Structure 1
């Protein structure tokens, strides 16, 4: 029988200008969910008395309150899985914090609420009191470590590998709906379509080839896949990051260098020549406390993020991408004299010359 599966909520389709080429649109779809390299992702566990969901009791008109807190054993499994992703050598760092206001990733353990995560930078759109990840069953049970690794993969920006257009999977749609409508998932048709049957656009896929051993493949039982024939017995990924997963992560998040970033001096522009997925990093030490604008100029598709250094770590302050439109990525931030800030610019696509400029003013 099919196991409990990851149930990502359906997200509204992103809006891009009309007339973009398929390559440029695909690059923007992928780039919009990925963090800039060098980001420190702070995570916390939600467990205050008010952290709970009120849900209907099936078959009745009653409601019940289900808390989000999890036991220490479950939390330790999550910590171990963060360390496993970190051990790949990626340039994104994970740090646990106790204050949810400091956390980009906020983790709950609502029993029966399914296991899911926001994908990459979607976490920044969630309210500070909301979860960005939920683990809806006991992840200390045998074989459930892969559930946590899978959700952290989503938090890093990865999508479901079995939905890749390069997989060539022909599902038995009605069999999928019937199987997932029953225990242990109890999914609606919309949830089954969103998480299994919908084929991703080529630009959304993590890799250009199908990786059946990816940690981002959902394990499903026999009778749901019609083609390729060898998967009629089900999909059985390893439950850990595969070599292709590691390659993808290191391509987006290469190991951080030890060279100190160049200084971005207010009112002086810096010319950049970035290749696709290349990133430039700068420090800013403002000469006075005031409101500033930090932005790019030129025809490259870019993501721009500003961090403030606190306790020796970069903390997210503001970010923007140009969305493939005619404008540029610009943010307004208040910078304080005596503090250090980091500005990171990443090019998303091959469109345009790649020539762009950065300025703080």
Structure 2
């Protein structure tokens, strides 16, 4: 029997300036969806009677509202899966909040709408009344806990494993289309192509080898894969975080000790000796309340985020991404004397010969 599959919404490819060097473009593709390490991802469960989708009623000309609210047991499965990812010791953490305006991740449980998630920072442009993640079937059913682990993997920036160009999969395309067109998925050919047959750019994938044990891998029925030969009988991931899943998450989000972050003093340049994907972290404790400007200097592509510490937790204050542009990121933010702030700079790549640095003034 065909499994129910995560169904990511199709999105247009990112528009980078023409003429970028291949190495620079690859670094941008690799890191563009990844969070700055040290981010606390706040998640919110829709819980109001007005939270839902308005859908047409066939044959009536009218509409009805379908709820996004999930039961306590469903929410508890998702909470447990957030804890499982957190307990790896990654530098990104998770916190449930009761106010959707404080949440980067907003979670619904609309039955029949499939299970899906925005990938990494793709969640940020979504409106406050929009979902960034949905669970479309019962997560307490046998084997379905893996669905929650899978969607949180997407929220961390991970992609579908079977779409890796390193997998060497030769599909029976028409068998795949036919299989997904029937129950329980009822997918169009476009949706099937986008989520299964389409190969990802090598820079976008979770690693340099295919991991058929990954929680980001679909379980596949017999007869869909022609090559490698050993998978003609199907692909059967265990539905748990694999060793390579953990390695990838810890590679992008290594444990972070904020006590080691050096101070960033006004009008003093701090050099950034970073490789692609690496990050520098600084503490700012302003001596006066005023508007400050933070800027990166040098020929590099980077993401800069300023966090304000509130109740012992870094809360997003402002951020800029200069990836693929000819200018450097600058942020202007009002800092308050007596409070503590963190400045985090994550490098896509350095594409010039000079040094890069960060400064506040």
Kindly indicate whether the alpha-carbon contact (under 8 Å) linking 1:77 and 1:145 is maintained by their aligned counterparts in 2. yes
Partner of 1:218: 218
CA displacement, residues 108-132 of structure 1 (integer Å, 9 cap, x when unaligned):
1011111000111111111111111
Give runs of aligned pairs for residues 276-315 of structure 1, distance below 5 A: 276-315=276-315
Kindly indicate whether the alpha-carbon contact (under 8 Å) linking 1:300 and 1:353 is maintained by their aligned counterparts in 2. no
Gaps of 5+ in 1: none
1:339 Cα deviation after fit: 2.3
- Cα distance in 1 for partners of 2:275, 2:174 equals 45
1:232 Cα deviation after fit: 1.5
Kindly indicate whether the alpha-carbon contact (under 8 Å) linking 1:160 and 1:216 is maintained by their aligned counterparts in 2. yes
**CA, structure 1 residues 306+258, in 2 after alignment: closer, same or farther (shift >3 Å)?**
closer
> Normalising to structure 1: TM-score of the pair?
0.95
Give runs of aligned pairs for residues 125-144 of structure 1, distance below 5 A: 125-144=125-144
Give runs of aligned pairs for residues 208-287 of structure 1, distance below 5 A: 208-257=208-257, 259-287=259-287
**CA, structure 1 residues 335+207, in 2 after alignment: closer, same or farther (shift >3 Å)?**
same
Kindly indicate whether the alpha-carbon contact (under 8 Å) linking 1:274 and 1:354 is maintained by their aligned counterparts in 2. no
1:238 Cα deviation after fit: 1.4
Counterpart secondary structure, 1:301:
strand
1:280 Cα deviation after fit: 0.8
Quick check: 220-229 or 78-87, which moved more? 220-229
1:231 Cα deviation after fit: 1.4
- Cα distance in 1 for partners of 2:350, 2:359 equals 22
Structure 2 residue 312 is the aligned partner of structure 1 residue 342: no
Aligned residues: 361
Counterpart secondary structure, 2:357:
strand
Counterpart secondary structure, 1:246:
helix
> Normalising to structure 2: TM-score of the pair?
0.95
1:350 Cα deviation after fit: 5.8
RMSD of the TM alignment (CA)?
Answer: 1.6
- Cα distance in 1 for partners of 2:185, 2:153 equals 21
1:340 Cα deviation after fit: 1.8
Partner of 1:178: 178
Partner of 2:122: 122
- Cα distance in 1 for partners of 2:327, 2:200 equals 27
Quick check: 54-63 or 123-132, which moved more? 54-63
Partner of 1:329: 329
Quick check: 143-152 or 37-46, which moved more? 37-46
Partner of 2:32: 32
**CA, structure 1 residues 177+63, in 2 after alignment: closer, same or farther (shift >3 Å)?**
farther
**CA, structure 1 residues 23+306, in 2 after alignment: closer, same or farther (shift >3 Å)?**
same
- Cα distance in 1 for partners of 2:255, 2:116 equals 27
- Cα distance in 2 for partners of 1:166, 1:305 equals 33
CA displacement, residues 163-201 of structure 1 (integer Å, 9 cap, x when unaligned):
001011111222212211111111111111111111000
Partner of 1:197: 197
Structure 2 residue 23 is the aligned partner of structure 1 residue 16: no
